[in-house]
Amino acid sequence: MEGPRRGFPTVRALALAAQAAIEKEPLRLEERPVPEPGPGEILVRVAACGVCRTDLHLVEGDLPLVRSPVVLGHQIVGTVERTGPGAARFEASARVGIGWLRRTCGACACCASGRENLCERAEFTGYHADGGFADYVVVPAAFAYRIPAAFSDADAAPLLCGGIIGYRALKRADVPPGGRLGIYGFGSSAHVTLQVARARGCEVFVCTRRASHRELAHRLGATWAGGLREPMPAKTDGAIIFAPLGDVVPLALRNLARGGTLALAGIYMTPVPALEYDRDLFYERSIRSVTANTRADGEELLAEAARIPIRSAAATLPLEEANRALQLLKRGEFAGSGVLLTGAGS
């Protein structure tokens, strides 16, 4: 990445050059030139960016580093500062959101059939291109979202990955309105998903390690909340595993009703142990993974979240404390979401 040039404005960015335990604080604060939007792109002045477990997986090596250095962050809220040639979708100063999905080929069979999340040439924010742990970010205008006025910057940021992925996971779990949903792990994504499910009349059971997370689940309307490996009080129509723990899969399957579906919401999961057909899968119990999201998922989630309205339990930190924010995330100390603020928002 080109460094700052004399006489040109510079901006802050937290860059990852080499993977390491987050306790070693591998994100380094740099000064960089303001990025230039290319054809079809917009330059966004970042106000808020949520911290996500995917960022932690990338920092610590659970996911490969595909470019270095890279600026992480893919739950971004900000305002359009400048547009590149042909980028007429948003007016200057429009408040927009940027999520994980940054670009797709638009021509393959998956893209043509409404499954752009499965595009083999997809690119992702804060992974293939620099993300929102910075004062400015560039994104294709076609992959940005208009943020509803109902949300503050800090409330909107967790919706742009955690919210969207949880929304897709809820669809994949096939829980009918008024049905019963099981949730394993209760962080940023799960606390948004619970609110969507409750708004649809669903009964929700939550298994999570920390007492503070169980308390938040109850406040948001969970019928029951217990330890991560406790048996649920009744069988569920569908379930979602948000915790990246493969050994929870057999337990979740045993808690499913006949014909129920288990959705695996994480981008990374520890090894799944051997399953027993009769005990875990018979009676048409199903397992589905969740891979990224489509833009339609994002638009649907933002509209439904504004109607409910969803309220994110967001703890905010300044941009410079990105390492600390990811340390808190690793230790499970956010009851809800962690959000970095640049100071540019309202």
Say yes or no: 15 and 142 in one domain.
Answer: yes
183 shares its domain with 265 = yes
Residues 206 and 244 in one domain: yes
For the chain, what is the domain count?
2
Q: For 93-118, how does the pLDDT look when each residue is reduced to its tens digit (9 = 90+)?
A: 999 999 999 999 999 999 999 999 99
243: Cβ–Cβ under 8 A, 6 or more apart, which residues? 184, 185, 208, 228, 266
Specify if 303 maps to a domain: no
Q: Contacts from 1-4 at CB under 8 Å and sequence distance 24+?
A: 1/32, 1/69, 1/130, 2/32, 2/33, 3/31, 3/32, 3/33, 4/31, 4/32, 4/33
Q: Which residue intervals of the chain are DSSP H helices?
A: 53-60, 109-112, 153-156, 162-172, 188-199, 211-219, 249-254, 295-307, 322-330
- Phi then psi dihedrals of residue 39, to 5 deg: -55, 130
Q: What is the pLDDT of residue 24?
A: 98
Q: Is residue 329 pLDDT above 60, yes or no?
A: yes
Range of the domain at 321: 10-147+313-341
Residue 279 located in a structural domain: yes
Among residues 235, 277, 322, the alpha carbon closest in space to that of 49 is found at: 322
Please report the pLDDT score of residue 6 as a whole number.
Answer: 53
Q: 139 and 23 share a domain?
A: yes
| Domain assignment of residue 236, yes or no | yes
pLDDT at 328: 97
pLDDT at residue 1, as a whole number: 43
What's the token pair of residue 94? 């429009």
Residue 321, pLDDT > 60, answer yes
pLDDT at 247: 97
Instruction: Supply angle C-alpha 138, 304, 171, rounded to 5.
Output: 90
Shared-domain flag, residues 124 and 86: yes
Looking at the structure, tell me whether residues 69 and 123 fall in a common domain: yes
Whether 196 is in a domain gets the answer: yes
Per-residue pLDDT at 155 exceeds 50: yes
Q: Is the pLDDT of residue 2 over 50?
A: no
Q: Name the residue type at position 237.
A: D
Say yes or no: 215 and 284 in one domain. Answer: yes
140 and 108 in a common domain: yes
Residue-wise pLDDT for 186-229, tens only, equals 999 999 999 999 999 999 999 999 999 999 999 999 999 999 99
| Cβ atoms 216, 191 nearer than 8 A | yes
Q: Is the pLDDT of residue 5 over 90?
A: no
Is residue 116 domain-resident? yes
